[in-house]
Structure 1
């Protein structure tokens, strides 16, 4: 896991990562649900889709749309184990620890907060 400010600076330099933004429907969903529920969704998605040492369909398990957390995962490179290894220094082929899962949720929350305050 790396320095969060440096991470967000690197993400901003990525043409692919920086193209992701919340649309009107996703923004409204965040407003309707609130940060606590969205955080619970993020924690659940991470636990179910990424936490295993060898997640099912790794590299393809996170949809590109359909939920604000999915968009945030692609924007923050927390979408698959390969991206977690490359961008966050979280080794693949090992289960995610509770601390690592909390870190990922924190990164997603920070990105969503930034989007909601744009």
Structure 2
């Protein structure tokens, strides 16, 4: 797992990761529901879609839109186990620990905060 400042500096250099931003509807949803609700949604998605040791559709389990958490997952490379390994140093082929799941949720929430302040590219 990486230091969040270093992680966001590295993500800021990725053209692919940098193209992800919340659309108006997603931003409105985020502001209406608030970060505590987004945290609960993120915990649920991470627990169900990323935490298992083996994911049959790994690499395709996270849609590109449909919920602000999905967009955040792609923007922060928390979308599949191979991205988690490459960007965050989290091994594949085993169940994610509670600590790793908490880390991923914190990464997603930090990205939301940056989006809300308009700092996603900085």
Match of 1:107 in 2: 107
Match of 1:38 in 2: 38
**1:3, CA displacement in angstroms?**
1.3
Stretches of structure 1 that go unaligned for 5 or more consecutive residues are: none
Matches within 5 A, 1:44-83: 44-83=44-83
**1:56, CA displacement in angstroms?**
2.9
Asked whether the 8 Å contact 1:49–1:56 carries over to 2, the reply is no
| Superposition CA RMSD, Å | 0.6
Asked whether the 8 Å contact 1:76–1:107 carries over to 2, the reply is yes
Distance between the aligned counterparts of 2:55 and 2:4, measured in 1?
25
Distance between the aligned counterparts of 1:25 and 1:2, measured in 2?
31
Number of positions where the alignment pairs a residue of Structure 1 with one of Structure 2: 118
Distance between the aligned counterparts of 1:37 and 1:55, measured in 2?
25
Q: TM-score, normalised by structure 1?
A: 0.98
What does the per-residue CA deviation read over 1:40-85, in whole Å, with 9 as the maximum and x for residues that have no partner? 0000000000000112310000000011000000000000000000
